[in-house]
Amino acid sequence: MTDADPEFDPLNHTLSEPHYLEDLEVGQRFVSPSRTLGESSFAAFQMASLDNHPIHYDVEYCRRMGHPNLLAHGMQILIQTAPGAGMLPHVLGVNLIGLIEQSSKFLKPVYCGDTVYPALEIIDLTSGNTTGVVTVRSTVHNQARQLVMEGEQKLLVRKRSI
């Protein structure tokens, strides 16, 4: 290509300068965009998860079971807090090695039509030789300001080279 721009480097086309473990602080918060979970979200999750329980796709079944609408699968709520769903992986950039641990508690039901507000907050930083572990508290609230899910995730992150 003769018309390539020598000034442009796709590797530098990032939302943030990459941060190392040392650049992070306990208490930093990373919110993800709010999302209203509609029928298409439920259908896509059912296809991806292969979960065939009617509580996730049959409104009439849900009503017979005492629910006002389709009930979200817990994993459908958990994925809202995936580090890649928000800004954290853009802040870490190439220094994010990977997710190494995850736990969660599902506290209240989430139904089709609910809006969820996911967030991650750094609660611990553990330094190793060349890498460290970032522990984040993951939360999801609904439109009624209720905490519907909480948990922890641990991410392996590079330290600065000495």
Distance from C-alpha of 37 to C-alpha of 76, rounded to nearest angstrom: 10
pLDDT tier at 114 (50, 70, 90 boundaries)? very high
Write out the two tokens for 92.
């870490």
Q: What is the pLDDT of residue 74?
A: 96
pLDDT (mean) for 24-45: 96
Mean pLDDT, to the nearest integer, of 151-156?
98
Cβ-in-10-Å burial (0-12, 13-18, 19+) of 78 comes to buried
Give this prediction's pTM: 0.89
Domains within the chain, CATH numbers bracketed: 18-158 (3.10.129.10)
For the stretch 45-94, pLDDT in tens is 999 999 999 999 999 999 999 999 999 999 999 999 997 888 899 999 99
d(CA 83, CA 155): 9
- Model confidence at 2: pLDDT above 70: no
Share of the chain above pLDDT 90, in %: 83
pLDDT in the model for residue 36: 98
